[in-house]
């Protein structure tokens, strides 16, 4: 770096060489420094990519584990009341119902399994459990469906990127 910064006339005089040779020498040194910087940046980028792959693997393995672990299902007991009444029971937990009521965008707060439960729920029973009208419950189910589709698309994209990156391991 010091040799590059020195004026080439001074360096030529000190080394007893022509200014043209010194200019070529300084250009070569600058190219070496540039290449080293590119290599350093490439290594950093590769490390970030590998770290992202590790994180993706851990997220996907956790997701696979959560799918294999059976969730506690609530037993709904027939109490003899009409399912359209305000005391209608749903298969949704109190925690899910609370999130649906309290959060401004509840579909973003629920995990994918909870979103599936909301989608499977009867619209009228959901509306009754939340004390909402049927249109609002339908809109909620549509939002949950869109969020679930978006998440599925993201997972498919990650799998596609992974398979693409595995195919390019032979790069120089």
Give pLDDT, residue 27.
93
**What pLDDT score does 169 carry?**
59
| Three-state DSSP state, 127 | helix
Classify 49 as helix, strand or coil: helix
Q: Are 19 and 12 in contact (CB under 8 A)?
A: yes
pLDDT at position 80: 46
pLDDT at 54: 83
Q: How would you write the pLDDT of the chain (172 residues) with one tens digit per residue?
A: 888 888 988 888 888 999 999 999 989 999 999 999 999 999 998 888 888 888 877 777 777 666 655 555 455 554 444 444 444 567 788 888 888 888 778 888 788 888 888 888 888 988 888 888 989 889 988 988 998 898 888 888 878 787 777 766 555 4
Q: How far is CA 60 from the centre of its chain?
A: 11
- The confidence score (pLDDT) of residue 167 equals 67
pTM of the model: 0.45
pLDDT for the residue 83: 43
CB 108 within 8 A of CB 100: no
Q: Which pLDDT belongs to residue 39? A: 93
């Amino acid at each position: 770096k010091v040799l590059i910064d020195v004026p080439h006339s001074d360096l030529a005089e000190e080394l007893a060489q022509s200014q043209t040779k010194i200019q070529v020498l300084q250009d070569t040194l600058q190219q070496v420094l540039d290449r080293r910087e590119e290599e350093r940046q490439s290594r950093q980028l590769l490390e970030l990519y590998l770290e992202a792959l590790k994180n993706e693997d851990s997220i996907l393995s956790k997701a696979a584990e959560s799918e294999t672990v059976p969730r506690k299902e609530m037993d709904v007991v027939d109490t003899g009341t009409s399912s359209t009444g305000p005391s209608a029971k749903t298969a949704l937990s109190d925690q899910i119902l609370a999130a649906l009521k309290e959060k401004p965008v509840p579909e973003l707060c629920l995990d994918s399994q909870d979103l599936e439960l909301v989608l499977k729920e009867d619209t009228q029973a959901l509306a009754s459990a939340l004390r909402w009208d049927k249109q609002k419950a339908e809109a909620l189910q549509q939002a949950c469906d869109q969020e679930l589709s978006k998440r599925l698309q993201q997972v498919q994209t990650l799998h596609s990127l992974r398979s693409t990156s595995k195919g390019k391991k032979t790069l120089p």
